[in-house]
Structure 1
């Protein structure tokens, strides 16, 4: 366990003006509070807060953050209270300790929907004081370093949580060294065989080639000396997980990897960076497509560096990163660069970008997205690298790698994105799903009246674009649901001999806890609430007594005594829909939906038209409707679809395939239903299934009565 004076010395190495007495006081307080507590390894528990504080001294953080590290588990695990810490160490430290406690209690590895809400809370906590997440990341790093003392299942849970959340978060905040270590520690738990395999192959490679890092570092230094450039050269083999991820992403074997080794050249000025780049490219061949200039186009977390890959000694490919000392501090410390001290004073770094700007962009969207969308978009923004494109006026738009012209349009303005119809990249018209590359000029072409399409969600990459598209689709769906709800309620009220007037709807909305009539109609139209429930709320006596089942031979009002009745096969009208009858000699009356295109043929034969209405009451589930579906071509999908239809008390009377492809089937399914409300319930249930790509009511105008 690190002694208190050793900890004080670690802080004073970078901050001679540190309040040593405050640190000693926090050390003694934490030691007293955790007295008698032990970790799973059997060590005194207080060894953990001290280790977290020591990690934070490596980031040159301020006294309050170091004190917070020493006290970060006191509120949760001891008799200490917020008010006591505030009284003894000040309100700022108390707020930080309380923030870390809340993050600890989030249980981020829970079920996905709950995880999304907790992720939201995590970012809200970060937005108040970023030092909270710095302490939490250091806490997680030490726990991962000592994870072997936990049960196997607990190790796996913590490792997955670290890999999915904390490691990418550290990387997104600029602390790449911490991200790499967290990933590798998680990799050791989650896939130990793969990690050992990478290490064994690396050892074999070293035996075959010798100490490549030392040799190439020497070559680089010699070249810089020849050019008279002062710089430091560092080389290392990449972490096992970094190698494994590249093998998986690019489907490569270990022997095919081109950049197992990485080198950094750190110099004094930006001019020297480009001189070093020139010297390296003159000495070795540059690998095409592997050059990135993050000095002229920095990453959103402030990262600046030049990356190039060259064919080095023995034709082996190596990556070289070139940066100044100040750039290197930001690359190593990330967000912590905002809090770092030198010689007792805060040392602002001109290259550091406040990640609070990124957090504020996320939190602006909190009220616009549901929990799962928020989690998806946060992960997207943390994991993806950046590309930089230009507007026709020369303005730079920063996007994640893999972004499309649609992402570009939404990055400019949501209204521009919603109205996009096509795009030009470097003057050439391209599909909206084209992946953009660094330096391209993008022109977005818009049109009034254009609306986002459902397929756009799969085209775009950025969280902002996905959220805007889904929001627009929801608004459009709401209008459709309201119209459908009006029709369903009209039919349901007519079944009991009532009218669905504004006053009735307003009263029902109030009784059912809806905000207004439109909210009620939307819920009915989306099958969130049944029309029957609305009617039973207003007229319980009428709704509960539906009477006997309607005679299927004469289910409508308006027929003559001896007239036969049947539904038109072209439009397949259902009880609850408005209908009109057409008389046929020797065939009786054929009922068409009021919007059936086939009725146009009879416009000049008005004498054949008969006004018909469905009888109010309970109809039998014998009215066949054809549904057109596109489903995944996977084992068990068709069986599950059939079961789903049966669960909603509908019967499949026929099924025929219209198209078969390796990845999907297109088919027509005839389903026997009661009425239009029954149809809507079945459609919504099928549409919600992940393996149903498309479903709609099929009407064949060529089918004759």
Structure 2
């Protein structure tokens, strides 16, 4: 297993002299004012942490600064390092937000808050994950937690801090209890390894995966490690010969490049053995080299040189330059039959591709004074937070590729049940939506909700990370108010369909009675007291009035839809709500139920006298007159129906 080699020395002990040596070494990396902030953070944290230790028995301060050393090796900014030193402060101070903001600024405080939020979610999920016997359900819960973690993170540096912390924990895990070793290793394989992979931080990914495997599958790990070690001398000599031949061939073609042997990681070897059902001796990439050339054009030129030197194994070619991996990884991969017909894997990339693949998103952070992050990176971070697919195999599925492209993480919220199960909901979802996702019957019997232990209205929009508890009646059904877009009880079309279905299953007489009450209320609202209701039903495509009333009662048609037809059926002398009259070239238009708003005819359908028309309240609070059959009017969503107003032509007066 090849551990990440960091240029920055870790803290060896909690001794004050060692801490001072660690702080002095910062001067080689950061500006003096940046070092001052990190020193201040260490001096603030040290007395709070005192003699406290982490799960491995290491002192809390040593753990924090060891994690910070890893992040310095990833070239992270000084605020990230300060926040890492302060990461456990929320466990030691009641008013930590105010104190940290005053002493270290809002940016550092936000990072510490993000670390605290991730830790809270992780611990809350442990009970649920441990209780799940079904492997498929457990996998779904782990995936849901991953999504929730990224959805909550406003600054991707928080995730990098957690990855560094976990790497530091694994390095010292041998001194922990067997149960702790298993728990930490399993959580690393389920959560933190995939996070490092998706963020493209290969330096940490390999170490996280290899170290977790050491505890999860110790016998297999030792077997592969032994096989690698037994053949190490022969393999290194063979690779040295390959490097020399390839370097010479590239130079002969005028291609300037750097060729090196590539370290192999035990986790990737075992993964490939399992995935391809191959023995250790059959793997192509036990012997591997990496070629770095100046640009993409030279990458393909170098590939041609490789294939001229040795026969290619065509099934092992991948072009990740033309088709990058979802995490942005780029490189050419090929396998050839080298000298003695032994398989060799060759990776070809540019120095920038190599830099990005090793550091991932960390490569894009800049900590120079007053230098802002690149705009392209801001877009990349936005893209990273849309990630839904977590396993590399999903990239091979066309259907999953489409899902990856079309579903955006920021359009979802992830909340917990009281038992710790993660529920995935559309953004804007309410406790009622949540209840219907958990179980249809729970949705029907919903009467109240608690969010993180506090009573909340049923139309509250849920936020990622909340714990949702539904208060129910022993029996009963949903409220018709839930179907009103204006009241905001339901966001999901699926939830609304379940409510409508419930009403459709109820007694027809009850539905007619409910519909009668709704129709009467709507007639009063629009100011119409004399109307032929049978003709109204026929206009709405119902055979008779009772069918219209039953449909209203079941929630299949909204009162607002009925009111759209009322204006055409009402007698001329029927009392109406307040109106506005506007002049057009063809005649006057009377708009029902509105005061003196600016009005105009729509250019999209250009209504003329004789057309059936309707008014629409625009965002700037004006009114646009459309034809009733205007395509725009046909597509008005249910939640905007309250913007529709009755309108009719009247004779033009002088």
TM-score range for the pair, normalised by the shorter chain length: 0.5 to 0.7
| Aligned 1:466-485 pairs, distance under 5 A | none
The match for 1:147 is 173
Query: Which is worse superposed, 39-48 or 154-163?
Result: 39-48
Shift of 1:264: 1.5
Distance of aligned partners of 1:301 and 1:345 in 2 relative to their CA distance in 1, 3 Å threshold: farther
CA distance in structure 2 between the partners assigned to 1:346 and 1:84 by the alignment: 27
Task: Give distance in 2, aligned partners of 1:154 and 1:529.
Answer: 54
Contact 2:56–2:173 under 8 Å retained in 1: no
Distance in 2 between residues matched to 1:97 and 1:201, nearest whole Å: 43
Match of 1:256 among 282, 296, 317: 282
2:67 aligned partner? 52
Checking the alignment, whether the CA contact within 8 Å between 1:304 and 1:351 is kept in structure 2 is: no
For 2:406 and 2:301, the matched residues in 1 are separated by: 39
Distance across 2 between alignment mates of 1:76 and 1:275: 56
The question of 1:64 aligning with 2:94 is answered no
How big is the shift at 1:348? 6.9
Alignment of 1:276-675 (within 5 A): 276-341=302-367, 354-362=379-387, 378=388, 381-384=389-392, 400-404=394-398, 406=399, 512-514=477-479, 522=498
User: Which position in structure 2 is the counterpart of 1:676?
Assistant: none
Contact 2:326 2:395 (8 Å CA) reproduced: no
1:83 Cα deviation from its structure 2 partner: 1.2
Instruction: Go from structure 1 to structure 2 and tell me whether the alpha carbon gap of 1:33 and 1:259 turns closer, same or farther (over 3 Å shift).
Output: same
Cα 1:403/1:216, change in 2 over 3 Å:
same
Conserved? CA contact 1:262–1:318, under 8 Å: yes
Spell out, residue by residue over 1:283-307, the C-alpha distance to the aligned partner (whole angstroms, 9 max, x if none).
Answer: 1112113222222333333322222
- For 1:265, the equivalent position in structure 2 comes to 291
Give the conservation status (yes or no) of the 8 Å contact 2:38–2:78. Answer: yes
Instruction: Tell me the C-alpha RMSD between the 2 structures.
Output: 4.0
Q: Residues 184 and 241 of structure 1 are in contact (CA less than 8 Å); yes or no, is this contact kept in structure 2?
A: yes
Q: Could you tell me how far 1:147 is from its partner in structure 2?
A: 1.2
In the aligned structure 1, how far is the partner of 2:375 from the partner of 2:337? 34
CA apart distance, 1:143:
0.8
SS at match of 1:289: helix
Deviation at 1:514, TM superposition (A): 4.0
SS of the residue aligned with 2:390? helix
TM-score normalised by the chain length of structure 2: 0.56
* Partners of 2:392 and 2:184 in 1: CA distance: 23
Query: What secondary structure, in the 3-state scheme, does the structure 2 residue paired with 1:301 have?
Result: coil
Could you tell me how far apart the structure 2 residues matched to 1:234 and 1:520 are?
A: 61
CA contact (8 A) 2:214 2:221 kept: yes
Say whether the 8 Å CA contact 1:273–1:322 is kept in structure 2. Answer: yes
1:24 is displaced (CA, Å) by 1.1
Question: Which consecutive residues of structure 2, in runs of 5 or more, have no partner in the other structure?
Answer: 1-10, 13-17, 130-137, 408-424, 427-432, 445-472, 484-494, 511-654
Tell me, in whole angstroms, the C-alpha distance in 1 between the residues paired with 2:378 and 2:496: 48
Instruction: Name the residue aligned to 1:221.
Output: 247
State the match for 2:491 in structure 1.
none
Task: State whether structure 2 residue 36 is matched by structure 1 residue 21.
Answer: yes
1:63 and 1:413, CA in 2 relative to 1: closer, same or farther beyond 3 A? Answer: closer
Q: Distance in 2 between matches of 1:180 and 1:62?
A: 23
Match of residue 562 from structure 2? none
Secondary structure of the corresponding residue to residue 60 of structure 2 = coil
Is 1:82 the equivalent of 2:82?
no
Matched position secondary structure for 1:174: coil
| Alignment partner of 1:164 is 2:190 | yes
CA contact (8 A) 2:317 2:334 kept: yes
1:275 is aligned to 2:304: no
Trace 1:221-240 onto structure 2 (pairs within 5 A): 221-240=247-266
- Report the equivalent of 1:205: 231
Contact 1:17–1:344, Cα closer than 8 Å, also in 2: no
Report which of the two has the higher share of helix: 2
Alignment partner, residue 178 of structure 1 = 204
Q: Kindly indicate whether residue 155 of structure 2 is the aligned counterpart of residue 129 of structure 1.
A: yes
Q: 1:9 to 1:332 in 2, by over 3 A?
A: farther
Provide closer, same or farther for how the CA distance between residues 211 and 183 of structure 1 changes in structure 2, counting only shifts above 3 A: same
CA distance change for structure 1 residues 17 and 252 in 2, over 3 Å: closer, same or farther? same
Larger strand proportion of the pair: 1
Cα distance in 2 for residues equivalent to 1:286 and 1:355: 35
- Taking the TM superposition and a 5 Å limit, the aligned residue runs for 1:680-691 are none
SS in 2 for 1:264: strand
Distance 1:133 1:6 in 2: 28
Any idea what the Cα deviations from partners look like across 1:552-571, whole Å, max 9, x if unmatched? xxxxxxxxxxxxxxxxxxxx
- CA offsets, 1:508-559, max 9 Å, x none? 9996454559879947979x99989xx9xxxxxxxxxxxxxxxxxxxxxxxx
Alpha-carbon spacing, 1:149–1:524, altered in 2? closer, same or farther (3 Å): farther
Give me the whole-angstrom Cα distance separating, in 1, the residues matched to 2:504 and 2:90.
46
Secondary structure at 2:315's aligned position in 1?
A: coil
- Report if aligned partners of 2:395, 2:401 keep a CA contact under 8 Å in 1: no
Distance (Å, rounded) in 2 between the aligned partners of 1:221 and 1:350: 38
SS of 1:38's equivalent?
A: coil
Relative to structure 1, the CA distance from residue 216 to residue 520 in structure 2 (aligned partners, 3 Å threshold; closer, same or farther) is closer
**Aligned length in residues:** 415
Cα distance in 2 for partners of 1:114, 1:299 equals 25
Mean Cα deviation higher: 4-13 or 24-33: 4-13
CA distance in 2, matches of 1:361, 1:42: 37
The TM-score with structure 1 as length reference comes to 0.52
Q: Which residue of 1 aligns with 2:116?
A: 101
CA displacement at 1:41 relative to structure 2? 5.0
Q: Assess if the C-alpha contact under 8 Å between 2:289 and 2:345 holds in 1.
A: yes
1:229 to partner: Cα distance: 3.0
Please state whether the residue corresponding to 2:285 is helix, strand or coil: coil
